[in-house]
């Protein structure tokens, strides 16, 4: 009986450790205003074991332009050493 309990505990620990090891995947949707830029930089600087930034989508509004916002996001990604993140363009305001 004891070996069966031990086996169940070992399997449970393996399942918990594999589930906990997978980071949450994030897609950041932004209009590249100041609050979004701070959140973006915070996310890039944070530990990637807990959260994994998969991509960034950019939408424009009355105060931003998608072309300029794309350049800013690409510059931030380059400066942070994260050229592996995909950037997508949304609609113009």
Tokens of 72: 């800013």
Reduce the secondary structure of 14-67 to three states and give it as a string.
Answer: HHHHHHHHCCEEEEEEECCCHHHHHHHHHHHHCCCCCEEEEEEEECCCCCCCHH
At 6, is the pLDDT very low, low, confident or very high (cuts 50, 70, 90)? Answer: low
- The answer to whether residues 70 and 89 touch, using CB atoms and an 8 Å cutoff, is yes
List, for residues 13-40, the tens digit of each pLDDT value: 666 665 556 788 889 988 888 888 898 9
CB count in 10 Å sphere of residue 76: 17
- The answer to whether residues 54 and 93 touch, using CB atoms and an 8 Å cutoff, is no
List, for residues 43-54, the tens digit of each pLDDT value: 888 867 788 889
């Amino acid at each position: 009986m004891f070996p069966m309990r031990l086996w169940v505990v070992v399997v449970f620990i393996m399942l918990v450790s594999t589930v906990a090891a997978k980071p949450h995947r994030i897609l950041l949707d932004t209009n590249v205003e100041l609050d979004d830029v701070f959140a973006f930089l915070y996310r890039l600087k944070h530990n990637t074991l807990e959260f994994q930034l998969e991509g960034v989508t950019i939408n424009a509004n009355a105060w931003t332009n998608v072309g300029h916002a794309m350049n800013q996001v690409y510059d931030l990604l380059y400066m942070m050493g994260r050229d592996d993140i995909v950037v997508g363009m949304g609609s113009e305001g």
